[in-house]
Structure 1
Amino acid sequence: MITACSVETALHPPQRAGGRGRAVRDGRSEPIKRRLKFTWNADDSSNTKIGVDTCAKVTTGGIPVDLVERDAHLTHLMQWLTDEHGRSSGFVSVDGPVGAGKTSLIRTFSRRAADAGSHVMSTVCTSLDRALPFGTLHQLFCGSTLPAWFVDRCATALEQAMQTGGDLAVAQVLSRLCTAVTDLAEQRPVLIAIDDVKHADECSTRILVQLVRRLGATRVLLVTTERTEFPQAASPTSDLTSPSHVRQLSLPLLSRAGVAEVLRRGGGARHADHVVEEFLAATGGSPLLVHAYLEGPQALGRTAVACLRDSGAPVLEVARALAVNEAEFSAPVLAELLDVAPVTVEQALRTMTAAGLLAEHGFRHPAVRDCLLDDMAPHERQSLHRRSARLLHERGAPATLVSDHLLRAAHADEPWAPEVLLEAAEQAVMDQHAERAVDFLLLAQTCEVNDDLGATIRARLARAEWLLNPAVAARHLPDLSTIAASDALRSTDAVQVIRQLMWLGRQTDARRLLDKTMRRDGFGHLACDVHRWLQVCYPALALEMPAPRAEKSPPRAVPMSQIAAALIRGDVDSVPARASTLLAQPFSQSDATWSVEPVLLALLSLLYVDQVADASAWCDHLAAGVAADRSPTWRAVVDAVRAEINCRRGDFPSAIHYAHSSLTTLTPRAWGVAAALPISALVQAHTRTGDHDQAAKLLSQIVPEAVFDTRYGLHYLHARGHHQLATGRTHAGLADFLSCGELMRKWALDLSGIVPWRTSAAEAWLRHDNPDQARRLIYDELAKPGGERSRSRGISLRLLASITEPRQRPHLLTEAMELLEANGDQYELAMVLGELGRAHQALGDRKRARMVMHRAWHVARACSATPLSHELLPESGDADAVTAVPAAPTAISELTKSELRVASLAAMGYTNREIAAKLFITPSTVEQHLTRVFRKLNVRQRSDLPPDLCAATSKIA
């Protein structure tokens, strides 16, 4: 910060005839005042303070330091100055850390002494004063506020000493000054105040030492300020601070109450009460830092750097080393880094701690570290980082810490650097810092390495970039494919390249590389894992590859392989446990070879076995552990699964939100063939909500042909088929469903949880008025093992009821309703309730039909399924009842949890007995709850219950 200020100093002109350095005015001499204008950098310790005879001092940033918790110190100084017995002669050294307010104290004391009638001589020493012999004495004894006779005698003595020089001159000037000061003190007490006496010139210091010793009992008090935390080189000022000659007055940092007082003066009492702890933690109670922090963190940082500069080169160097190595806050490390004695570092750390800059964990505020780093020249900072990396590596520090220094040094020429950067990148991927891993690997690529290590670095770079954007990582695949084909890549890295090729739809390249990789000697159990993965994710390619030979004692399969094997066998009962095992592991530690894909398969496998609630819970858990900016690919995958979950729940607005988020985070190009997953969820959701134009727009986008060789293609065909049905193209819809079935049977992956193609095709056959074909598919679906409690069974029973005798329909539909409620599919539940209402209508039970249709309409409305709600509305029997005005939210909020559960079920059309069985209470209890509900909601009968209550349906099932 460049600041301009004007300082009025007392200077004497060069020698001239008849004047000898004095201007004659009215028969007496006085110094000639010159007004000088300075500009200086506030970060330079040599000119952050300008001495003037009024003891004014410009502090860093121009922030005045008010005197808080300094009353006792002022009292002591005044007592020593005005001792009524005339024994005020002596020396007081005011010490304390930088920023403690020593200058403010001595300035205030000087003003009070002058007001009390004392003669005051004061100055502020700077580093510039050291080069001017007798300069400090000149500023003290030639001030304009002193008597003219005294100034004249002192000026003459000093000028003669400057001309003569040598010890004789010092002795002469000392004698004359002693006499002059003694004469002056006879009138009233004399205060000599010197701020930062360590910067005084040597001649002045020698004379001041002798002056203090000779004055005896005269009324003269010398007060100096000096920082004593860091040992300084021996100098004449050492005699001044000798215990035999000095009274010590130490200034501590502010207490909590003192900080609060400063804040009250600076920002108001109310403000101070809320932030005093923050200010105390950031500044340690340093008055200077507290005032700086009032202006913000940047001002705090700049002021701290100025304080460190003013504390001397050793302290500044240690502070810079600490700023670079704050994670390794150790005096031995810093000492070795700077090549200095450990005691020097320890003293510097104590100095910074005393000044309120350091705490046990490092710098009290990150702004101090940031400003220190900015204050360093780039080459200096890089040099420190380079030396730090070498030192920490020799000490066995973690690879990530060493690599951070290498990265900041932009230097990796050490022979051990590539391996360390590679290890650090792996750890960064595990910690979900993909961008950091990419930085490490890019630096590793600049190193001179052998071909094998270079290939490994390239493969890991592609993997790390994949977590950020697969489309960007694709640039590595051509070279990696060539390297893998020449067996220069490890098997696990080669499989990663194959997976990435498959994801991006480059099936021909993947097939060629896969064929060569599977023939490798020692590929062993990994071949079995790869084959199972292909069977579930890319089954068309799996059919083309020969099944690997099983080893006699194969190691335990990785979790992803276990999930795939269970799905292939149709072992739905074991899938949840295996999926949870994989998902419970930290990201990128589970099947590291496979990267994102194992998590995607585990989440979808839970959906395939109707564990929707578990899949949703795992999505929430994974999303909470992954920052979107750290790994966009992870977030996109989780959002795509969330979209599919909400489609199966019937929450179509949420499905649209998550699918859009997924396709925004990663473009369809980056999604590759897996883009079919979020696109199919969007198509399904838009179709159910009646936005057929948007669904058609999505389907008009060209997807890679390779999509239909993957499991993701099944989702796409199924969603497209339902869009065809909804828009009247029933033949096209039927063809899509039958294509799903043909592929699933061909791939030996005929699991209804993936897509229920049989029930969808049966619905299409019914639209073609072909109940026989529909019945065959329905019975095939119902006959599949393990589906007794499945979602697809509930859909099958709904379709079967539509082609069954009217008297048998309520029984089938009731079972379907219970299954769909248990599986949480609100859209299919609305469909079943609509059919159940029609069944009761056909049997002549109009009242019951009306209640069930009432419930069906509300469930459809909750799903935002506009076409279905429009279909149900005319058959509700009483449109006015359906569209009744909702109850006020405050009225519903008055219901207890039990009352709300009972009222919600009653609003959906359940009888008291059915509600009692569902909630495991007695019918009498249901009736009592309903009585209280009617009174609170001000309704007379259950048909008047507000539709808002139906929003709790999913929570009650």
Structure 2
Amino acid sequence: MLVGREDELATLGGLVQDAAAGRSGVLCLHGPAGVGKTMLLQQAAAQAGGTVLHARGVESEAHLAFAALAELLGPVLDLRDGLPAAQARALGSALALEEAAPAAPFAVASAVLGLLAAAAEDRGPVVVVVDDLQWVDEASRSAVLFAARRLDADPVAVLLGVRDEEGLDVAALDVPALALGGLDADAGVALLTAAHPGLADAVARRLVADTGGNPLALVEIPALLSAAQRGGEEPLPAQLPIGRGLERAYGRRVAALDPPAREALLLLAAAQPGDDAAGLARHLVGDGALTAAERAGLLVLDASGATFRHPLVRSAVLAAAEPAALRAVHGQLADQPEASPDGRAWHRAAAAIGPDADVAAALRDVGVRAQTAGAFVDAAAAFARAADLTAAPDDRARLLLEAAAAALVGGRPALGRELLVRCEQVARDPLVGVDLRALRARVDSRSGQPEAGADGLVAEAQALPDDPLRAGAFLLEAAAIDMANGRMRRMVQRATRARDLAAPVAPPVAALAEVLIAEARMALGESAEADAVLEAAHEQLLAYQPGTGPPEIVAMAAQSATWVERFDRAEALATRLVAVLREAGLVAELVYPLGVRALVQLRLGRLQRARADATEAVELGDATGFETALGYPLGVLAEVEALLGEDDRCRAHATRCAALAESMSAASIAVYGHAALCLLELGRGHPGEAADHGLAAERVEARTDVDESAIVRYLPNLVEALWRSGDEPGAARRLAVLERHAQRPGHTWAAGAALRLRGVLGPDEEVDDWFARALEQHDPAERPFEAARTRLLLGERLRRARRPADARRPLRTAVAAFERLGATPWAERARVELRAAGGPAASAGGPAAAGAPGVEELTPQELQVALLAAQGQTNREIGAGLFLSPKTVEHHLSRTFRKLGIRRRAELSGALPPT
């Protein structure tokens, strides 16, 4: 009976109704055991008029990869063939519908998103109910949450239930949540009166107060009281069974049953997906055992089989079982012909008393299958349990090493560290020791200790004089870590050693090392030599395919190309890399390359495109937990937002960028956050605050070996902020650094910025010459923002020199250019100067030139969708690439057409920002 839950039921019902109207929604109900989550979810699902997909986590099944997903998607798996081939194959492999095939970590999650969208399109509204999410296997939980977060315009409602205090952090799920508390006094009494007629009113109110209104406790406790206690003639027990206390109360009911009924309950409690535990119980102990458990209020028997009245009953049965009895039951379940290979292996493991080589081998196979399907955390559990059942120390150590590696790839470095400690305790083989220490170094590098990680990899490389390939790979990995922390000279040394070791035995590894060396040398200011190496490697990098090396090296090559203004090369590399990673479904690996492509768009003045790429990078970084790559796109996004005048977003993203980078000792990345805030305050006319942030960027960069102002272009902003704050000597010292960099090839940006700043700092009679030379460096077509800034400063300088008539022309041009870019703060600054120079106060151009009217109103995701549609991609192709449903793509396009004032896809190209 459901009473006192009208508000919660209305909230859930609203989501179901929204789904029927074509709008997606997700909500997580959470609260203590017995508070009524399951009943609310069931009631909401009963209101749905379309397809209801249901799964429930079971504590004993939490180690079975994709078990919950198989239960959830079973009714709609016939639609799998309509998914993109890679997604259909990944899902089929994960659910054992076809031969196992390697899948990217988030390929199954993308397939779940696609399948839910296909079901909604084919069969009307879909309601997804996943209860006891805390016990759902990691692979299924991740896939459902990924899909839930990215559904938008599909008729799908996702309803989740989580029991508190069971180890799952609801806040970390990153979905809307609703905490469920106990019933109020009136509702609690109404429930008690309905469930237990004749209960004294005073007793009922005391029970509500003492249980906190927990519905399960209210239904169950009166049955445990004497008639005198229920009537109020005797006092109630001092401590009522609530929460886990109810589990103990259920345990007493179990203990009161005869042995056959207890055996039947134990079979059901230990069962896994695919087990016919009820049939086995009938065969072994007879129907009477099940009906006895039903009479005791522990089981529900119906046409679908036997289910526990509440999950606490299962927990009570397992807690009360003797170890020998539980092992025997698992052995019986393992012998079922219907058992799946994975289920049989886990049952055999639970039945084992000591080491068992056959069971360990079967469990390792389970881990391999899970790993192949992208369920890395579940694979780690299987490898670790296989290690428990392995006698030989080094064999056990190798399994623990496999488990730790899987945990690391699965985004659980803390678990990986625990497994490595266990591995170290048993490892004897020196080679196992090498791999162990190398893996620990990777764990360190991905959990906020990159310096320790890189040093560990170098140490292991030095310990492998007879294995140049592995030593070279370790050194290459260590060198790549140095890019983020700014140790460029050390990066050159390590990458050079990696190249020399790998050249005779692995030319591809040596080639990647050569690229890394060039990237480091570029950051050290050796522009010409490094650029020649990267130019020579361009075709090889352009042909990159996943699996042939770390994609970060290719993305880094694209980023390096922007420093010497090889924008065509940078854009080609970044765009190709993003495309192949999208096609392969490598979601986490997209984070850094998308950030790099955003930087290219930013440097070319395509602010809306830059924001779209950077926003997607941040969203995917958050969705996948790939924090090590997240700082960079956060910094780029903050810089874009500074130009667009989105102050609050800029500050939030810049602060997060700097904090995240500092927590990981990634000084080179932290500079981006401080630089974005410097730009923001300068654009808003706050030179003192801008100087503070610029100096902070300078201090952080001083901890690195970087000698390249084009990496993070804060130096001209710092010079201008210091000058406006009255610190001309400080401005002059930093301008000298910028002028030194401007002498390098491919540095017209630095040359133009240095020349305009000379015009600002110089005498009146030299203004025209300095600024004329600066404008020669700034091609408005390739560097529109820099050209506009130069004209703004020229106008300011001419007005200060009492030449207002001469100042008005560059200021008008600057206003128009800033407005075309959408750089609102800078346009306003230029308008203020223009008015002071006697020019018109009205807008000089407006944002329409950035594309059709309305472009600035597009969300980043709408722009991403529109750009791909303009290239001729279908909704399904766009959805697969952006990890969205086709319906969501259609929804974005509809809103885009409305905002742009167009009606057909053919009109998109002319309405969007230029390429």
Contact 1:636–1:662, Cα closer than 8 Å, also in 2: yes
1:196-251 superposed Cα distances (whole Å, 9 cap, x missing partner): xxxxxxxxxxxxxxxxxxxxxxxxxxxxxxxxxxxxxxxxxxxxxxxxxxxxxxxx
- Let me know the Cα RMSD of the aligned residues: 5.9
Give, as a single letter, the amino acid of the residue that structure 2 aligns with 1:411: D
Give, as a single letter, the amino acid of the residue that structure 1 aligns with 2:244: Q
Which residue in the other structure is 1:401 paired with? 378
Which residue in the other structure is 1:458 paired with? 437
Over 3 Å counting, the alpha-carbon distance change for 1:619 and 1:392 in structure 2 is same
Which residue in the other structure is 2:195 paired with? 262
Which residue in the other structure is 1:209 paired with? none
Give 1:840 shift: 3.2
Contact 1:644–1:655, Cα closer than 8 Å, also in 2: yes
Give 1:499 shift: 1.4
The CA distance in 1 between the partners of 2:317 and 2:383, in whole Å, is 19
Over 3 Å counting, the alpha-carbon distance change for 1:628 and 1:404 in structure 2 is same
1:558-579 superposed Cα distances (whole Å, 9 cap, x missing partner): 5655553564784535756754
Give 1:455 shift: 3.5
Are residue 557 (structure 1) and residue 544 (structure 2) matched?
Answer: yes
Over 3 Å counting, the alpha-carbon distance change for 1:735 and 1:675 in structure 2 is same
Contact 2:479–2:491, Cα closer than 8 Å, also in 1: yes
The CA distance in 1 between the partners of 2:429 and 2:498, in whole Å, is 22
Contact 2:384–2:399, Cα closer than 8 Å, also in 1: no
The CA distance in 2 between the partners of 1:919 and 1:596, in whole Å, is 29
* Max Rg structure: 1
The CA distance in 1 between the partners of 2:580 and 2:257, in whole Å, is 51
Give 1:705 shift: 4.7
Contact 2:792–2:811, Cα closer than 8 Å, also in 1: yes
Matches within 5 A, 1:369-518: 384=350, 391-393=362-364, 397-399=369-371, 400-405=377-382, 407=384, 411=388, 413=390, 428-429=407-408, 431-446=410-425, 448=427, 450-452=429-431, 454-471=433-450, 473=453, 476-477=456-457, 479-483=459-463, 487=468, 489=470, 491-518=472-499
Which residue in the other structure is 1:793 paired with? 787
Matches within 5 A, 1:530-609: 530-533=513-516, 535-536=518-519, 539-540=522-523, 543=526, 547=533, 556-557=543-544, 560=552, 563=555, 564-565=557-558, 567=562, 570=565, 572=567, 579=574, 582=577, 598=593, 600-609=595-604
Contact 2:677–2:693, Cα closer than 8 Å, also in 1: yes
Contact 1:684–1:719, Cα closer than 8 Å, also in 2: yes
The CA distance in 1 between the partners of 2:573 and 2:305, in whole Å, is 46
Give, as a single letter, the amino acid of the residue that structure 2 aligns with 1:403: A
Over 3 Å counting, the alpha-carbon distance change for 1:450 and 1:743 in structure 2 is farther
The CA distance in 2 between the partners of 1:710 and 1:342, in whole Å, is 76
Which residue in the other structure is 1:355 paired with? 298
The CA distance in 1 between the partners of 2:782 and 2:836, in whole Å, is 27
Over 3 Å counting, the alpha-carbon distance change for 1:783 and 1:634 in structure 2 is closer
Over 3 Å counting, the alpha-carbon distance change for 1:550 and 1:719 in structure 2 is closer
Which residue in the other structure is 1:37 paired with? none
Are residue 775 (structure 1) and residue 762 (structure 2) matched?
Answer: no
Contact 1:791–1:819, Cα closer than 8 Å, also in 2: yes
Over 3 Å counting, the alpha-carbon distance change for 1:695 and 1:412 in structure 2 is farther
The counterpart of 1:524, out of the listed 507, 526, 532, is 507
Are residue 836 (structure 1) and residue 816 (structure 2) matched?
Answer: no
Are residue 730 (structure 1) and residue 725 (structure 2) matched?
Answer: no
Contact 1:758–1:781, Cα closer than 8 Å, also in 2: yes
Give 1:509 shift: 4.1
- 3-state SS of paired residue (1:329): coil
Contact 2:594–2:614, Cα closer than 8 Å, also in 1: no
- 3-state SS of paired residue (1:840): coil
Which residue in the other structure is 2:747 paired with? 750
Contact 1:407–1:443, Cα closer than 8 Å, also in 2: no
The CA distance in 2 between the partners of 1:568 and 1:693, in whole Å, is 23
The CA distance in 1 between the partners of 2:431 and 2:463, in whole Å, is 9
- 3-state SS of paired residue (1:706): coil
Matches within 5 A, 1:156-305: 261-262=194-195, 297-305=243-251
In structure 1, runs of 5+ residues without a counterpart are: 1-62, 64-256, 273-277, 842-847, 857-917, 922-954
The CA distance in 2 between the partners of 1:587 and 1:438, in whole Å, is 31
The CA distance in 1 between the partners of 2:656 and 2:793, in whole Å, is 34
The CA distance in 1 between the partners of 2:625 and 2:307, in whole Å, is 27
TM-score normalised by L of structure 1? 0.48
The CA distance in 1 between the partners of 2:627 and 2:726, in whole Å, is 39
Identical positions, percent = 17
Give 1:591 shift: 8.9
The CA distance in 2 between the partners of 1:658 and 1:551, in whole Å, is 32
Over 3 Å counting, the alpha-carbon distance change for 1:767 and 1:367 in structure 2 is farther
- 3-state SS of paired residue (1:817): helix
Which residue in the other structure is 1:664 paired with? 659
Larger RCO: 1 or 2 (CA < 8 Å, sep 6+): 2
- How many equivalent pairs are there? 579
Over 3 Å counting, the alpha-carbon distance change for 1:554 and 1:644 in structure 2 is closer
1:732-753 superposed Cα distances (whole Å, 9 cap, x missing partner): 334434534543653x55374x
Give, as a single letter, the amino acid of the residue that structure 1 aligns with 2:247: G
Matches within 5 A, 1:596-635: 598=593, 600-627=595-622, 630=625, 632-635=627-630
1:272-296 superposed Cα distances (whole Å, 9 cap, x missing partner): 9xxxxx979x99999979999x975
Over 3 Å counting, the alpha-carbon distance change for 1:684 and 1:357 in structure 2 is farther
The CA distance in 2 between the partners of 1:735 and 1:637, in whole Å, is 28
Which residue in the other structure is 2:874 paired with? none
Give 1:478 shift: 5.0
The CA distance in 1 between the partners of 2:410 and 2:256, in whole Å, is 41
The CA distance in 1 between the partners of 2:525 and 2:695, in whole Å, is 32
Over 3 Å counting, the alpha-carbon distance change for 1:775 and 1:526 in structure 2 is farther
Matches within 5 A, 1:672-691: 672-685=667-680, 689=686, 690-691=688-689
The CA distance in 2 between the partners of 1:361 and 1:494, in whole Å, is 58
Q: Choose 583-592 or 446-455, whichever is displaced more.
A: 583-592
Over 3 Å counting, the alpha-carbon distance change for 1:308 and 1:666 in structure 2 is farther
Give 1:444 shift: 4.5
Give 1:390 shift: 5.9
Give 1:547 shift: 4.1
Give 1:819 shift: 2.7
The CA distance in 2 between the partners of 1:800 and 1:478, in whole Å, is 52
The CA distance in 1 between the partners of 2:455 and 2:277, in whole Å, is 42
1:100-133 superposed Cα distances (whole Å, 9 cap, x missing partner): xxxxxxxxxxxxxxxxxxxxxxxxxxxxxxxxxx
Give 1:776 shift: 4.3
Give 1:469 shift: 0.9
Over 3 Å counting, the alpha-carbon distance change for 1:697 and 1:344 in structure 2 is farther
Contact 1:283–1:356, Cα closer than 8 Å, also in 2: no
